[in-house]
């Protein structure tokens, strides 16, 4: 029937390399023919056991559009059916099925401009990292602030890359907060994000966001989006993606 989008099809992906980011997160770099993606999109992964049992999960893309490899940052979930495979079994050269890219709401393009506010909790930083990397490559003049909440210093995904980006890019600001141990840098925080803290870091930044993206657990997203709107950020510019189990779900 004409006018309908072409359904995404499953394609083979080959693991090029696996890099450990934190004790619980690995980056899996893939060679696949799924085509170009937008910053903020995700893919579906399907694993098939020898007995025919299938397990499927969705993972956000960490790599910027047009990067040479497709990067997924996968957090190990103890009860998960997919994530333990990538932490314990997967090796370079292994293959599995992937389809995508998926998602049209939680994306940022250079022409969208800024200032750009990114707020991530835990592994929710992954699609925001794709946006930050893309901005650095093609729109470094765009003002951006990434606020990243993690439980501990050792669980901050892409920590050294983010520090390097902050050091060499005057238009990119990074604020970290750890909720289970003291802060390591004087201008960061060691408490949970709440409306008071959001008001404080927005005042420090001194830019009114044109776009705001929030990604993390259900509770994190609900708290952050409510706090932003309560602080006067228009709801129409706030886009959010929440994680239930392994799966990213875009919300308005």
Q: Give the burial class of 36: count Cβ atoms within 10 A of its Cβ; 0-12 exposed, 13-18 middle, 19 or more buried.
A: exposed
Q: Give the whole-angstrom CA distance, residue 101 versus residue 99.
A: 7
Q: Give the CATH number of domain 110-251.
A: 3.40.50.80
Q: Give the whole-angstrom CA distance, residue 37 versus residue 143.
A: 23
pLDDT digits over 149-180, tens only? 999 999 999 999 999 999 999 999 999 999 99
CATH, domain 11-102, list 2.60.40.10, 3.40.718.10, 2.40.30.10, 3.40.50.720: 2.40.30.10
Residues of the chain with CATH 2.40.30.10: 11-102
pLDDT digits over 3-54, tens only? 545 578 999 999 999 999 999 999 999 999 888 999 999 999 999 988 889 9
Q: Give the whole-angstrom CA distance, residue 86 versus residue 108.
A: 28
Name which residue leads in pLDDT, 78 or 84: 84
pLDDT for res 3: 52
Residues of the chain with CATH 3.40.50.80: 110-251
Instruction: Output the pTM of the full model.
Output: 0.91
Q: Give the whole-angstrom CA distance, residue 98 versus residue 91.
A: 16
Please tell me the total number of residues recorded for the chain in this structure: 252
Q: Which two tokens stand for residue 126?
A: 């992954």
Q: Which two tokens stand for residue 64?
A: 């910027």
């Amino acid at each position: 029937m004409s006018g309908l989008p072409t359904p995404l099809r499953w394609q083979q992906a080959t693991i090029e390399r696996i890099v450990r980011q934190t004790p619980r997160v690995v980056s899996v770099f893939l060679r696949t023919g799924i085509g170009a993606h937008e910053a903020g999109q995700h893919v579906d992964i399907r694993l098939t056991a020898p007995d025919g049992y299938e397990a499927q999960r969705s993972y956000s893309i960490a790599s910027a559009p047009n990067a040479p490899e497709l990067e997924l940052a996968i957090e190990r979930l103890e009860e998960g059916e997919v994530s333990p495979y990538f932490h314990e079994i997967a090796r370079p050269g292994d293959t599995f099925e992937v389809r995508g890219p998926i998602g049209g709401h939680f994306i940022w393009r250079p022409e969208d401009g800024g200032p750009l506010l990114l707020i991530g909790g835990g592994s929710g930083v992954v699609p925001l990292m794709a946006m930050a990397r893309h901005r650095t490559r093609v729109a470094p003049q765009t003002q951006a602030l990434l606020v990243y909440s993690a439980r501990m210093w050792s669980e901050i995904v892409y920590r050294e890359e983010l520090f390097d980006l902050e050091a060499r890019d005057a238009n990119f600001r990074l604020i970290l907060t750890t909720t289970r141990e003291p802060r390591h840098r004087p201008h960061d925080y060691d408490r949970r994000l709440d409306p008071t803290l959001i008001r404080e870091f927005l005042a420090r930044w001194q830019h009114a966001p044109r776009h705001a993206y929030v990604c993390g657990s259900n509770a994190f997203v609900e708290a952050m989006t409510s706090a932003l709107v309560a602080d006067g950020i228009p709801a129409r510019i706030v886009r959010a993606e929440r994680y239930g189990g392994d799966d990213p779900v875009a919300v308005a």
